[in-house]
Structure 1
Amino acid sequence: MSGIETVAGVETRRWGTLPDSQDVQLFVLRAPNGLTVTLGEYGARLLRVQMPDRDGVPGDVLLGHPELAVYLEQEDALYFGATVGRVANRTARGRFELGGQQYQLALNNPPNHLHGGPGGFHAVRWEGTALDESDGLRGVAFRYHSPDGEEGYPGAVDVTARYTLGDDGWLSLDCWATTDTPTPLNLTNHAYWNLANGGAGSVLDHTLLLPADRFLAVDDNAIPTAITEVQGTPFDFRAGKPLGQDMDADDAQLRGAGGYDHHFVLLNGGECLKQVAVLADPASGRRMEVWTTENGVQLYSSNFLGGSVGGWNGARYEQHSALCLETQQAPDAVNQPELDCLGTVSIIVQPSQPYHTQTQWRFSVLDQ
């Protein structure tokens, strides 16, 4: 990674080359409080987030990889930090009906379709541009044109994923999209967080608060079957607790998923930002709040990481070495109207109704 340029306060450098000979760039954003964010054009993804601990010592808090080749060659690394779409999470049997027509998508998570398919938004180059300093924003806008029929979805879609980093240490992701034909859209970011040491150890001691009264119980194929109260279950994070506190409970949902991999239903607060999670590491003192316009968040406790992927500073990413908090609409909402109604808008986007979602990560340090 050489040839560093600085444009509009954003460091830009060449990251690598795709098999079709396209050059891929990465971008580095720095905030005055010591927060540093690295972004890449492949997958419009978060590559690295570094922040100081309570003693002022900087460290990684996001799982990721220095080399582009890892994302291209290792299937288990493809979603790390990526912008995921067209439809995040699982679609049952990869099928849906829209406008009287049946659509069949790739079954890349048999027997289901997952995260937009093998050639989804995570697996393409987006065109990244540093924001104009006159806008008063420090950030990068990534743009991608998804043609009609890509990965089996109807309609041509133009999408922008814009990351901005404020002086206060708030990292924001706004996604906008327009379509020429009704089509399902459910975008998210698939960041893997570990506030202690960037994935070199477990996150089971991290404390997590999720103000959700309900979650979606799933079948053996991780497709939602029921909207379920968290009261009296291992899924109750309303008062905050260590992530691993109840993970070994005798619970069919946890056994089936190997941990948490479930969608939590949040209060419908309209299209305004609302706090949906607070994650903290008592050891390092690092703390992260998640705010979003979405009314759901998928909690995933990295149940299927197995040490095969090496990251920053040679870290080996083992099972439960991170957790994901994927703000999104409900899985399989395109096939289950009762789940589609949980959101502020339908998962089906119309040409006359542009799509927008926002998620914000607010980083701080716990009091001594």
Structure 2
Amino acid sequence: MKPFFYALPLAALLVLPAIMAQAAPLPVTLARAPFGTTANGQAVERFTLASITGMRVQILTYGGTISAIEAPDRAGHVADVVLGFPTLAGYTGDSAQGGLFFGSTVGRVANRIAQGTFRLDGHTYHIPATEGTTALHGGRIGFDKHVWTVEGTTATAHDASVTLGLVSPDGDQGFPGTLSTHVTFTLNDRNELSLHYRATTDRPTIVNLTNHSYFNLGGEGSGSVENHVLRINADSYTPVDAHSIPLGTIAPVAGTPLDFRTPHRIGERLRDTTPQMMITHGYDQNWVVNARPASVPVLAARLVDPASGRTLDVLTTQPGLQVYTGNALDGRYTGPSGRTYRQTDGVALEAEHYPDSPNHPNFPGIELWPGQTYDETTIYRLGVEPEPRAHG
């Protein structure tokens, strides 16, 4: 019997390649689904970006949150490598308790502002304190506690994306100016998740945006990340006082437990008794990323799980990297795995400007003026390392 295409007319043969091309699977797909309703009746949606390489990312409109990043290990087994919750109630419940910001977009100003106070353009502003006398991650109702608006989705030959937006009115949490914020989450066929932040204002204000995902490359709920190997592309950091507020100085990491210029285990010096480690009860410091200024993302950190082979590169245009070993995780939260989260069960790699920047003129500024656009990008690149060869 002749192949079926011998029986096709010439016109059909001419369009057959186009039909076959249309039927080919897209390298990255995007799906949209409901994800519950908040207590005040706001509908929340979940977007799923999936690559043919095996990587899958879930984005929630609540908090502009990364709720899952699934990636294969060296054997091809896929696992979720960020901490989170299986339902909306987990995220809203966390928010009600003050929040540990699982996977959320943090703003209007990420990290700490001393006494919740700063001066800008001749005026003094006060932000509600959320950590003792400190304003942390944008005040009591930061960007992580809002339902963001879906501004659009795209799909190209090599990636797919969703853009979320949030308008923070003048005076929101004490910050001046109406701030319009947009975050575009893009997954490509090279296992890269890109977060592109943009913001504009109608009055002078301050802005510092980041994502607060907790990574565990062994898989969510698999236990401690102390055996993960971390390298940070930073020769210096910003020392803090007893309230985790920067002293205003830039200090070398050399000779301290914060020296990750060469890769080593997170747990290797985690329990060091130097004052900086005692203050933060683990790692919760800001590293000064090398190669500044950068108009394109540069490598800030590389995280490796030797057991699974999974790797994570963090590239960013931001000048700082806050590394946090989940020191406040105390067993009160349960993830999708059904296991509770405890200290060091995840590590946050928060690309951002330095803490308390408005109160330290020598730090890179976070002021945003009318007519300017805040524009920063962070990329999470997942990969795998082969299993080390035995020597004998």
TM range (shorter): over 0.9
Letter matched to residue 241 of structure 1: H
Moved more, 66-75 or 349-358: 66-75
Counterpart for residue 53 of structure 2: 33
Q: Describe how 1:202-221 pairs up with structure 2 within 5 A.
A: 202-221=224-243
Is 1:233 equivalent to 2:251 in the alignment?
no
Whether the aligned pair in 2 keeps the contact of 1:199 and 1:322 (CA below 8 Å) is: no
CA spacing shift, 1:176–1:276, aligned 2, 3 Å:
same
TM-score (norm 2): 0.88
Query: Where in structure 2 are there 5+ consecutive unaligned residues?
Result: 1-27, 388-392
Native 8 Å contact 1:214 1:228 kept in 2: yes
Where does structure 1 differ by over 2 angstroms across 4 or more consecutive aligned residues?
Answer: 74-78, 132-137
CA contact (8 A) 2:191 2:383 kept: yes
**CA shift for structure 1 position 32:** 1.1
C-alpha distance in 2, partners of 1:353/1:23?
Answer: 32
Cα distance in 2 for residues equivalent to 1:31 and 1:93: 45
Once the two structures are superposed, what CA deviation does each residue of 1:146-187 show, in whole Å capped at 9, x if it has no partner? 111111100001110110000010000001001001100000
From the CA coordinates, give the structure whose radius of gyration is larger.
2
Report the TM-score, using the length of structure 1 for normalisation: 0.94
Q: 1:200 aligns with which of 222, 247, 251?
A: 222
| 1:280-291 alignment runs, 5 A limit | 280-291=304-315
2:390 match: none
Asked if residue 350 in structure 1 is aligned to residue 373 in structure 2, the reply is no
Q: Aligned residue for 2:359?
A: 335
Q: Does 1:309 pair with 2:333?
A: yes
Verify the 8 A CA contact 1:200 1:316 in the aligned structure 2: no
**Pair 130,54 (structure 1): closer, same or farther in 2 beyond 3 Å:** farther
1:91-118 CA distance string (max 9 Å, x none): 0000011111111110011110000012
Quick one: percent identity of the two aligned structures?
38
TM-superposed CA distance for 1:131, in Å, is 1.5
Deviation at 1:240, TM superposition (A): 0.9
Q: Once the two structures are superposed, what CA deviation does each residue of 1:293-336 show, in whole Å capped at 9, x if it has no partner?
A: 01110010111101110111212111110101100001001111
CA displacement at 1:78 relative to structure 2: 4.8
Q: Does 1:140 align with 2:159?
A: no
Report the residue type matching 2:65 in the other structure. Answer: R
Q: Which amino acid aligns with 1:143?
A: G
Aligned to 2:281: 258
**Residue 71 of structure 1: how far off its partner (Å):** 1.4
SS at match of 1:232: coil
Matches within 5 A, 1:353-368: 353-368=372-387
- Which residue of structure 2 lines up, in the alignment, with residue 3 of structure 1? none
- Does the 8 A contact of 2:62 with 2:145 survive in 1? yes
Please give the alpha-carbon distance, in whole angstroms, between the structure 2 residues aligned to 1:302 and 1:362: 21
How many equivalent pairs are there? Answer: 356
- Matching residue of 1:99: 121
